[in-house]
Amino acid sequence: MMRVRFELAPLEEVVPWGEHRRLHWFGLTQGWYCLEVGGVELLRYAERSGNSIGHGGAAVTSWVDYYVVRLWEDLLAVLPSALEPVPDDLAQFFAAGSEGWVDTGDPALLDDPAIDAASEAYGLRWTDTSYLRFGPAFRWWRTLAPEDTVTVAWRFAPDPDGEITFSAPPSGVRTVGTKEFIAAITDFDHRLLQAMQERVDHLVAAGGIPGIELDIPALIREQAQRRTWLPRALARQDDTDWAAVRAGAAILAPHLA
C-alpha cells in the first residue's frame, strides 16, 4: 500500500510570510503530512521528547510539519521518470544507489557523456526533503519483471545531536504495483486540490483575512493552474538513451557490471 496522509492547518493558525504579512496559495497549504509505503510511515517523527513536531490533533502531531504542497510538487516532478521502466540489466545500478560509485574527479572522466547520461537518469529518479531537518532522500524506479512495480528506497541523514529522529528505519526499500503507485499520487492530488478549493472558496466569500495581504484573483488563477500539473506529469514521457546510461553505469559502478 502507498498513501499520502495530510491535514491542513486551521486557517487561523496559518502563519503569514514576511513583514507585510502576506499569504499565497503555497503558504495556505501549511499543515502536517506523512508518506506511507508498504506499511512504513516515512515522514513521521519518532515519539520522543525534544522532537520538532506539529501542533495538530492527536492523529497528526508526529507527522512532519511543513507546506503539504511541497511533497505534492516533489512527487509530480519525479513521476514521469519514475514511470519510465528501467531495463532489467540496469535495475541493480538504480537499486544500489550512488554510495559505491567511483570518484569522477579524474579529469579524463569529467566530460564523459556516458557518465552524464547515467548520472542524469539516476538524478531524475531522486527526491530529497532537505527543507526538513534531517529528512530522508528517496529514489524511485520502475521495473517490469517479474511484475510491473515501482520501488522506493529511502535514506535518512542522522542528526548528530539525536534531537530529530523519525519512526522509520534509517534506510530501506519498499515496492508497490505501478497502478497502485499512480493511484496513490492521483488520490493525493485530488484530495489536496479539493481541500484547497474549499479554502479558496472560503476566502473568496470572506473577502480575504483581516490583517493579511492576500491576492484573491491570483489564488483563483493558481488553483486552476495547479489542477493541470498531474495531467501534464502523466502525459510526459521520458526518452532515456539507455545505451548511454548503460555505458556510464559500467564506469560509475563497475562492481555491478
Domain range summary for the chain, segments of one domain joined by +: 2-255
Grid cell of 121 as nine digits: 537518469
Q: If you count them, how many residues does the chain have?
A: 257
Q: Per residue of the chain (257 residues), what is the pLDDT tens digit?
A: 999 999 999 999 999 998 889 999 999 999 999 999 999 999 999 975 555 555 555 456 789 999 999 999 999 999 999 999 999 999 999 999 888 898 766 666 667 899 999 999 999 999 999 999 999 999 999 999 999 999 999 999 999 998 899 999 999 999 999 999 999 999 999 999 999 999 999 999 999 999 999 999 999 999 999 999 999 999 999 999 999 999 999 999 998 86
Task: Write the Ramachandran bin of 24: left for phi over 0, alpha for psi from -120 to 50, otherwise beta.
Answer: beta
Grid cell of 43 as nine digits: 515522514
DSSP states of 86-101:
PPGGGHHHHHH-STTP
pLDDT at 99: 87
> Which phi and psi (to 5°) does residue 231 adopt?
-55, -40
Rounded to two decimals, the pTM is 0.92
